Structure 1
Amino acid sequence: MASNYSLTAGGLLVRQINYRVVLVQVLVSVFLCINIFQIIVFFMKDSFYTTMRYILFAVILMSDCLFLLMTDILLILSYNSVFIQTWLCLLIYIVLSVYTFVTPLTLTAMSLERYVAICMPLRHAELCSTRSTLHLTLIIHGLSSIPCTVTLSIYFASAARAVYTQGMVCSVEIFILYSWQGYLRSAKGQFYFLIMCTMIIFSYVKIMKVAKAASEKNKNSTGKALRTVILHAVQLLLSLIQLWCPFIESAVLQIDLMLFINVRYFNYVTFILAPRCLSPLIYGLRDEMFFCALRYYALCGLYKKQSSG
């Protein structure tokens, strides 16, 4: 989260949002525990980490955990106006920049997996093998690194060496040296948004065609696949709205500081915190096999606790 929470015209700290910071800590702690529990359940059954959609689901869970943890740390540092050296902020920026895109790209890949399962069932085992999933995960991380690489290449070429040891409140904005970089950043986000939306729509249309032609026996599976793709589309939309937030916030900052603080807090909770917390939980509860595993291990743990008492 950016550092502008702590800045005023006279350099005074803005402390009015203390209750908001506490609320974020509670939400992040709760959802980190939920996501970590789901990750543990994923590794408890062999069938999960040998199936593409569950492996991709685990990638989303781990990506969201890391992203939530890093943004929460930045929030605390910014709120308390803690200065860190630029090289450390650089490392934080790289992680956040990469994992901003990992989740929506993985959601897109999960929609394509449903397309293969419904429209190309005879080739599903071949195309969605564990080996293919590993390669796909590497491709997702590679594609997620491109926007960060472009931004940092420009920064390294323009910034003086002395900057890397200077102390500052860490913010994404410190790596945007020119106004045209902001437009380039917007173009990159919109390009990724367009590609991912196109793939989601393609998957939905293809599955819809199969659903119309399917027999009554297969309508349940195709219908479930359609609902899954729609869920991924909603998740993707919420995840990608955060790419537009910095430009809205920049415009609001020119108008009023307190309005900027309120808008940034709203954007953080609504478009960063909520989608990365609720979406994995909803998907985990919707999937029958994963939900059964969650219920089994949750009740098992409760039973053992009661027995020991």
Structure 2
Amino acid sequence: MKRIAILGSVLVTSIALLSGCQLNTPSQEPTYSIAFSYKVNDERHIHFADADGNYAKQVTNFIKVEGYPSVSPDGTKMAFYGKYDNNKTWSIHIVNLDGSDIRRITNTPNVWDSAPSWSADSQNITFAREYKNGQGEWQNEIWIAAADGSKTQQIKLLRGVGPKFISNNRILFFTQDTTSAIYIANVDGSNLIQLTNNDAENWYPDISPNEQKIVFMSNRDGNREIYIMNIDGTSQTRLTYNNVDDWNPSWSSDGKEIIFTSEVPNQFSDIYKINHDGSELQKLITGASQASWIKTP
């Protein structure tokens, strides 16, 4: 994994401890493996940490609420969302990892743009847009934009949330209708393939690096837990057994581990790590959410 070092003006704090697992300052810049949104009072900003949740470092301070960080595969840029207008407008931003050239690439008022994801060549991103129409009905749309913020366009044949680019010019996403499900489709919206088929929530899919497995959240057994399945939807298996909601899973670059967010009653949420077979559950970071692995060459 490539070392990620944030050296430019985006850096607003030195290395700080969030997880409580390390009590010393590292002698050299650590290898950052996890990006996440960390909450302090009523603000949330993006931090990086190593694979064990240590040596967390704040890397953004542009907007009061920032989240859904996604580092490009070439390790040069990061996409994230920020909230405006008293949280009524959510917008996608792209910034170089040296802190330069931050761009707000969406600015439509009163819509929620979130969960950006990069194409394998780091040239495009996809993201979700949610809003209420004139009849008060929620609309869920999938959009694509070039990495420089140009060529922003909706995939009009698809209705969904949480899109992610996968190989062969396809997109993995989920729906939030009365019956939600996980799908794969071509980037133009054609060849729609449904992977889950039940009355539960099936949300937040993420594909393994070898594209053989999909991890996702489902509440089919009573509350929101983390599940795994084959790329064709077979062998759907539960990984977590908690009394609180678990969501937003993300694969490590080697496909061996999964990080996810776990809610804390009457508080915010924490980030956990688990092996892909459900073993060795470990709490990584307190007071954080929307974690993703930094997947770079």
The alignment's TM-score, normalised by the length of structure 1, stands at 0.26
* Richer in strand (by share): 2
Larger Rg: 1
